[in-house]
Amino acid sequence: MRTSTKFVLAALLALPVALSAQSFQPNLEARLIGKPLYLRGFWSADDLHFDGSGKLISPSETTAFTLSGMDVTKVQLHGDGLVIDGRRVGLELEQKDARARVPLQTDPMQPNSDEPIHIEIALAPGADYSKALDAIFADGLASLTPSLPPYWQVYASRNFLAPGDGLPMYPKKVEKAIDKPIRKGKDTILRPTLAHSVAPDYPQAARNLQYKASVVVSLVVGKEGNPTHLQLIRPAGLGLDEQAIAAVQHYTFNPGTQKGKPIPTDLNVIVVFGGAQPPL
C-alpha cells in the first residue's frame, strides 16, 4: 500500500511538468519554426549543447556569420530540456541589393543533402527558455549586426539596419589623412600598385554549392605599402568575405605618391572566387 501511495504521489508531482511541456510547445514552435534565425556565437559544430541559460557547454569552433543561419524544422520539449533540430543555412549577398538564404549541402554530388543541426538545451530555470533562446539565436540580421567583426560594420550598418543608421567608411582622423583626388592642384597623385598578392581559400560550403562570386574590399594603403582599415563594400556571403579579408591582409603595395613622397591612399580591391567575373 505504501508503495502504491508513493507511486501515485510521484505521478502527481510529475504532472505539472508534463502539462507545462504541452502548454509551451506551441509557443516555442511559433517562435522558432519559419524564422530567419542565426546562431549568435557563429558556431560551426552541428551538434550543440547548452546549459539552461544558453551558454555553450559542448566544443565548437566558429565560422562566418553567413554560414551560421538555421532553419528550425522540429522542436521537442521534454521534462529535462529542449531539443531543436533543423538545417544549416548560408547567406548569399553577391547580387546587389538582394539577399538569399540557401540550405548548405554536405555532398555536392547529392541533391538535397542538407547539413543538419541538432541543438539541446538543458532544463531552464522555471522551464522558461526565453533567456536561453535569446542567447543562442538572433532573429534576423539587424539584431546580429552589433556582434559582427569590425570589417563588416560599415556594410552591415548600411544594409541590415534602418535607413540613416549607416556608418562612415573610415573614422574622421583617417578620412582627413587620405589624399583622394587623382589631381590636387598641379600635383599629380600616383595611385598605389599591387606588389604582392595572396590567393584566398575557397570555403567548402561555397564549393559544395558551386557558388562563384567576387568580393570588393575597401582599404587604405599606408606610406609603407601595408593595407589598413579594411572594410567590405560588396560582400558575397557563404564565407567568402572572411577569406577575402584574410588574403588582402597579406597583400603588399607600392604606396601612392605625391611629389615623389609616399602618402596614405584609399583603394578598392576585388577578390575573385571560383572563376567569377569581376563586378563592373
Q: How far apart are CA 253 and CA 225, in angstroms?
A: 5
C-alpha 50: how far from its chain's center? 20
Would you state the pLDDT for residue 277? 62
pLDDT per residue rounded down to tens, the chain (280 residues): 344 444 333 443 444 444 444 348 899 999 999 999 999 999 999 999 999 999 999 999 999 999 999 999 999 999 899 999 999 999 999 765 678 999 999 988 887 899 999 999 999 888 899 999 999 999 999 999 999 999 999 999 988 987 755 566 666 655 555 555 444 455 688 899 999 999 999 999 999 999 999 999 999 999 999 999 999 999 999 999 999 999 999 999 999 999 899 999 999 999 999 876 666 5
Give the pLDDT score at 187: 65
> Which tens digits make up the pLDDT trace of 135-156?
999 999 999 999 999 999 999 9
d(Cα 169, Cα 235) in Å, to the nearest integer? 15
Note the pLDDT of residue 24: 82
Q: Which residues, at least 6 apart from 275, have a Cβ–Cβ distance to it below 8 Å? A: 212
Q: What is the predicted pLDDT for the residue at 257?
A: 94
Torsion sign over Cα 64, 60, 106, 160: negative
The three cell numbers of residue 62 are 566558429
Provide the CATH topology of domain 151-273.
TolA/TonB C-terminal domain (3.30.2420)
- Can you read off the three cell numbers belonging to residue 152? 563588416
**Which letter does DSSP use for residue 225 in this model?**
S
Q: How far are the Cα atoms of 90, 188, 218, 237, 238 from residue 100, in angstroms, in the given order?
A: 8, 43, 23, 9, 10
pTM (two decimals): 0.83
E-state strands within the chain: 37-39, 47-50, 69-78, 81-92, 100-103, 116-122, 137-139, 183-184, 187-190, 193-196, 213-221, 227-234, 252-254, 256-258, 261-263, 265-273
Domain spans of the chain?
2-147, 151-273
- Residue identified by cell 509551451 is 24
The Cα 46–Cα 87 span in angstroms is 9
Q: What is the pLDDT of residue 161?
A: 87
**Are the C-beta atoms of 182 and 189 separated by less than 8 Å?**
yes
Instruction: Give the pLDDT of residue 97.
Output: 60
CA–CA separation, 200 and 236 (whole Å): 14
pLDDT, residue 165, reads: 57
The pLDDT score that the predictor gives to residue 166 is 57
What backbone torsions phi and psi does residue 61 show, to the nearest 5 degrees?
-80, 175
Can you give the pLDDT at residue 125?
Answer: 87
Helices (H), the chain: 2-32, 130-136, 153-159, 172-177, 204-208, 240-248
* 50 phi, psi to nearest 5 deg: -130, 155
Q: How far is CA 187 from CA 171, 177, 183, 190, 258, in A?
A: 26, 17, 6, 9, 7
